[in-house]
Structure 1
Amino acid sequence: MKFSGWPENGELVVGKIDEIEDFGVFVDLEEYEDKRGLIHISEVASGWIKNVRDHVREGQTVVCKVLDVDRDSQQIDLSLKDVNDHQRSDKIQEWKNEQKADNWMELAFGEDIDDETYGTVANELLSIHGSLYDGFEQAAIHGEEALEDADLDDEEIAAIVETARENVSVPYVNVTGYVDLECPDGDGVDAVKEALQAAEGNGEVPEEVDLEVTYVGAPEYRIRVRAPNYKTAEDQLEESAARAADRIAEFGGAGEFHRDRRTDEE
């Protein structure tokens, strides 16, 4: 996806070096349609530069900082030296992610997707999630819920979700906690079984979450949660333990949640 507008002062942009002159370097901006910028020789690298070609080469992909934009003269001034390694790495990754998302748009709506449809869908994802890539990632994690505020029809939303879940590698985190379950009554075994079923969610755990409850050693049970982010994982972990404690309490028993193990692994 290429933007039709202009970059802003201070923005980091990805470009490909098109032409090298003694006074500076011309760069085609990869993210903007028909936009070209100039890196003056003084902005190529710190210190005195004898030969520009000692620092850059034609065809090289670079990350630059926008110093000034003059729309009247169609000029964009860029700096290469003002971009540090961390900024360069993050921007390149962001750009690569958007290229992936651009391909996913074609997978979702066909290679012959028209500009109007592309623009409508892309603008909705950008307005809600900040980028195409983040829009697809959230659709992979949360499904239709991630697009409930988008002004898109059901078919468009379904196409995005299906494509996202087939192509997006979702980052996951894992958390672990423990719950002690005790019931002194005669039906204590059945009470624990029902409490464990409650801990596992009785089929109500969100689709993007994997939750597993395993026996450690009486009265301790381990709860493992795999989720897209730590907040969701922690919430699901605590809710799982709370469900177990509430259920066993109905039988006169008690449940206690803790983060660290209290019994030895077998």
Structure 2
Amino acid sequence: MKFTGWPEKGELVVGEVDEIADFGVFVDLDEYEDKRGLVHVSEVASGWIKNIRDHVNVGERVVAKVLDVDESSQQIDLSIKDVNDHQRSDKIQEWKNERKADKWMTIAFGEDVDDERYTEIAQALYSEFGSMYDGFEQAAIHGAEALEDVGLDDDDVEAIVETARENVSVPYVNVTGYVDIECPTADGVDAVKEALKAAEGNGEIPDEVQLDVSYVGSPEYRIRVRAPDYKTAETHLEESAERARVSIESAGGSGSFHREQQTEEE
């Protein structure tokens, strides 16, 4: 998707070097429709520049900072030297992600989707998530629930979720903890089984979270959680252990949670 407006002062933009002159470099902006910026020779690189072509080439893709925008004269002043390596890497990745999302929009709504409808859906995702890519990623992780406040109709939401889950590679993290469960009562074995069921969530774990409880060695059980981010993973890990503790203690037993596996010496 290309924006029809103008970039803002201080914004980082991606563009392709279109023309090189002795006084500077002209850059076609990839993210803005029919917009071209100028990088003055003094903004191409730090220090004295003997030959501007030693620093940039025609056809090269660059990340530049917007120094000034004058809509009346159709002029955008840019700087390449004011962008550090970290900013450049992050911006290129963001640009690549949006290109992916643009392809996903075509998959979801067809190659013949008209510009007005495309823009309406894209802007809805931008307003809620900050980018189309993040909107598709959240749809892949959380399904239709992630798009509840986006303001799209059910058919559009379904198309986005279906496309996201078929095309988006969702990042996941894994965390592990251990719970010790003991119950000295006559029905202690059954109490432990119920505590383990409680730890597993009794079928109420969200689709985007994988939680597994396995036996290590009496009285220790391992809890593994796979989730889209650490906060979610840690929350489900702690809640799982707490459910087990509450269940076993209500049956007259005891339960405790720890992060490291216990050894025989311990």
TM-score, length basis structure 2: 0.97
Rounded Cα–Cα distance in structure 2 between residues aligned with 1:212 and 1:173:
14
| Structure 1 unaligned regions, length at least 5 | none
The answer for the alignment partner of 2:126 in structure 1 is: 126
1:172 aligns with 2:172: yes
Output the amino acid matched with 2:114: D
Rounded Cα–Cα distance in structure 2 between residues aligned with 1:14 and 1:188:
64
Rounded Cα–Cα distance in structure 2 between residues aligned with 1:150 and 1:16:
33
Mean CA deviation greater in 71-80 or 41-50: 41-50
Rounded Cα–Cα distance in structure 1 between residues aligned with 2:80 and 2:44:
5
The answer for the alignment partner of 1:21 in structure 2 is: 21
Alignment of 1:36-47 (within 5 A): 36-47=36-47
The answer for the alignment partner of 1:58 in structure 2 is: 58
The answer for the alignment partner of 1:253 in structure 2 is: 253
Give the 3-state SS of the residue equivalent to 1:68 in structure 2. strand
| Structure 1 outlier segments of 4+, above 4 Å | none
Q: Once the 2 structures are TM-superposed, how far is the Cα of residue 65 of structure 1 from its aligned partner?
A: 0.5
| Structure 2 unaligned regions, length at least 5 | none
What RMSD in Å do the two structures reach over aligned CA positions?
A: 1.1
Rounded Cα–Cα distance in structure 2 between residues aligned with 1:50 and 1:250:
80
The answer for the alignment partner of 1:140 in structure 2 is: 140
Rounded Cα–Cα distance in structure 2 between residues aligned with 1:13 and 1:56:
16
Mapped contact 1:220–1:263 kept (Cα < 8 A): no
Output the amino acid matched with 1:121: I
The answer for the alignment partner of 2:34 in structure 1 is: 34
**Offset from partner CA, 1:224-247 (integer Å, 9 cap, x none):** 000001111011001111111122
The answer for the alignment partner of 1:111 in structure 2 is: 111
Mean CA deviation greater in 93-102 or 184-193: 184-193
**Offset from partner CA, 1:132-171 (integer Å, 9 cap, x none):** 0000011111111110001111110011011111111111
Q: Once the 2 structures are TM-superposed, how far is the Cα of residue 249 of structure 1 from its aligned partner?
A: 2.2
TM-score, length basis structure 1: 0.97
Output the amino acid matched with 1:235: T
Give the aligned length. Answer: 265
1:96 aligns with 2:76: no
Alignment of 1:66-85 (within 5 A): 66-85=66-85
Q: Once the 2 structures are TM-superposed, how far is the Cα of residue 120 of structure 1 from its aligned partner?
A: 1.2
Rounded Cα–Cα distance in structure 2 between residues aligned with 1:48 and 1:245:
68
Mean CA deviation greater in 8-17 or 112-121: 112-121
Output the amino acid matched with 2:40: H
Output the amino acid matched with 2:103: N
The answer for the alignment partner of 1:215 in structure 2 is: 215
Rounded Cα–Cα distance in structure 1 between residues aligned with 2:263 and 2:45:
60
Give the 3-state SS of the residue equivalent to 1:86 in structure 2. helix
Mean CA deviation greater in 132-141 or 249-258: 249-258
Output the amino acid matched with 1:173: V
Output the amino acid matched with 1:219: P
Rounded Cα–Cα distance in structure 1 between residues aligned with 2:69 and 2:123:
24
The answer for the alignment partner of 1:241 in structure 2 is: 241
Q: Once the 2 structures are TM-superposed, how far is the Cα of residue 257 of structure 1 from its aligned partner?
A: 1.2
